A = this chain, B = another copy of it.
Amino acid sequence: MPVGTQGTVKTVPQDTLEALGAEIILGNTYHLYLRPGHEAIRRMGGLHKFISWPHALLTDSGGFQVFSLNELRKVTDDGVRFRSHLDGSSHFFTPEHSIDVQIALGADICMAFDECTEYPADRSRAEESLRLTMAWARRSLDHFRAHRHEVPWSDPKGCGMQCFGIVQGGMYTDLRRQCAERLVEMNFDGYAIGGLSVGEPRDLTLEMIAETLPLLPKDKPRYVMGVGYPDEIEQYARMGVDMMDCVLPTRAARHGLLFTSQGRLNIKNKQYAEDQGPPDPACDCMVCRRYSRAYLRHLMQAGEALSGTLNSIHNLAFYLGIMQRVRDSLAPATGNQEAGSLKLEARS
């Protein structure tokens, strides 16, 4: 899922995302809450309409961003007080408030408010953090069920909106298990594995996913948050992960890092100054069909905004292409063309 932090997948127009075959994008609750504000978005009919994205949308709970504001937050059992990175104003997020904001945004999938346990965290710290996450999951889900009908459009039952729980537990497999079992009892619409890709070694990421995934119901979407590199997402998808999100393809693109079938390519390198080949000879995306490495390097060197756009389009095409190939390879075994793919119908 391409990440659209502030209601835009950075540098890429929505029609291009459609042409790339993106079926779902993310919005960040924290950012949209601060600007333009969830009530403004609600008044305008919700995030789909506001950003003109008539396809699936997922909003995070705001938790991850808030917990990234190291110096600007204070956590209690009730919630988190934090200061805006924009103007220093004080805000208080509870599980209930996070869900309220997400309902106002009206994404197809909202996420329970959790605490993303930092890495490293010792066992007592991870246990304490998990206690918060599990209490907040309960409160998030209860509030979601009571208020899901308050979406920004006419939908008395609010049936279309889903709420996912997030498994935390640091790097302790028994805590992960405890959390997963508790969340599954609560019967969320889907389950995420959070608190990964926070600085831990990759084999630990893999171990946590491998241990946690089997505990989550196969008939509901299973989502690993915040990953990853191309080989990672393919590996996790083949393990049974249905959804992943990461800023990496677009953020790396803006810094000149292209993901290709031949590995990573830093387009700023002088060796590409007169390289008339496409960014990735094996790629059929609109950028690789039209532009050369030399041109992309020139745009980067010249500080031209088109650089970010073209690099992002290629990287997204590369990521989406990986997932498409995984789906294609799964299809014969299951006899289901949609295997491994979450299909959501967005409201209009």
Q: Which residues of A contact B (CB under 8 A)?
A: 6-8, 10-15, 31, 35-36, 40, 43-45, 49-52, 273-274, 276, 286, 290-292, 294-295, 298-299, 301-302, 304-306, 308-310
In the docked arrangement, what's the CA distance between A302 and B7, Å? 10
Quick one: which of B43, B294, B301 contacts A274, CB cutoff 8 A? B43
- Complex CA gap A126/B207 in Å reads 78
Distance A43 CA – B298 CA, assembled complex (angstroms): 15
Give the complex CA separation of A43 and B273 in angstroms: 11
- Given A35-B302, A301-B35, does the pair A294, B11 have CB atoms closer than 8 Å? no
Given A11-B309, A36-B294, are A302 and B44 also a contact pair (CB < 8 Å)? no
Give the shortest distance, in Å, between A3 (CB) and chain B (any CB). 13
Assess A295 versus B52: contact at CB under 8 Å? Given A305-B11, A305-B305. yes
Nearest residue (CB) in B for A37 is B273
Smallest CB-CB A-B distances: 5 pairs:
A6-B302, A11-B305, A8-B306, A52-B290, A36-B298
Q: Once the chains bind, are B273 and A13 in contact (CB under 8 Å)?
A: no
Instruction: With CB as the reference atom, state the residue of chain B lying closest to A286.
Output: B15
The residue of chain B having its C-beta at the shortest distance from the C-beta of A290 within the complex is B52
A299 with B8: in contact, given A40-B273, A44-B274, A290-B14 (CB under 8 Å)? yes
Min distance, Cβ A35 to any Cβ of chain B, angstroms: 6
Which residue of A10, A43, A305, A306 has the most chain B CB atoms within 10 A of its CB atom? Answer: A306
A286 to B19, CA, bound (A): 14
Q: Answer whether A309 and B13 are a contact pair too, CB < 8 Å, given A8-B299, A36-B301.
A: yes
B305 touches A50 (CB 8 A): no
Contact A295 B51 (CB under 8 A): yes
Say whether, besides A12-B306, A305-B305, A309-B13, A294 and B44 are in contact (CB < 8 Å): yes
CB nearest to A312 among chain B residues: B305
Given contacts A294-B36, A295-B7, A301-B36, contact A13 B52 (CB under 8 A): no
Q: How far is the CB of A65 from chain B (nearest CB, A)?
A: 14
- B residues in contact with A36, CB < 8 Å: 273, 294, 298, 301
Contact pick for A290, options B15, B40, B301, CB 8 Å: B15
Complex CA gap A31/B299 in Å reads: 12
Are A294 and B50 in contact (CB-based, < 8 A)?
A: yes
- Measured between C-beta atoms, what is the minimum distance from A308 to chain B in Å? 6
Residue of B nearest to A275 (CB): B44
User: What are 19 A-to-B residue pairs whose CB atoms are below 8 Å?
Assistant: A6-B304, A7-B295, A8-B299, A10-B306, A11-B309, A13-B306, A13-B309, A14-B290, A15-B286, A36-B294, A36-B301, A40-B274, A44-B274, A44-B276, A49-B276, A52-B290, A52-B292, A305-B308, A305-B309
Give the CA-CA distance A274 to B8 in the complex, in Å: 17
